[in-house]
Amino acid sequence: MIDKIKQLLGFGPSVDFGQLVKQGAQIIDVRTTGEFKTGHIKGSVNIPLQSITSQLSKINKDKPVITCCASGMRSASAKSILKSNGFSEVHNGGGWTSLKSKL
């Protein structure tokens, strides 16, 4: 049961984010536009969480997706939204600064 909860929150088995990016993964930063402007991962796309469902067409379903935000909570929500909209390979990258250090 605990493993299922961790999986739902995006804390499943460890993921090699650097390898995913090398394989063409998209990094979707779900912070607000203002937060994104203060700093972000080079090459990431800013789609604020509150507008992600209306901007699904900006995300390629055929490539892995890594979501990130400030701490990992919004990115977990974004992962859930993407999975429920047919995206098969979605990973919660957590906070963008932590994710950046793993790339």
Instruction: Give the pLDDT band of residue 15 (cuts 50, 70, 90).
Output: confident
Quote the number of domains for the chain: 1
Domain range for residue 77? 2-101
List, for residues 81-103, the tens digit of each pLDDT value: 999 999 999 999 999 999 999 99
Rounded CA-CA distance 75/67 in Å is 5
* pLDDT over 60 at 12, yes or no: no
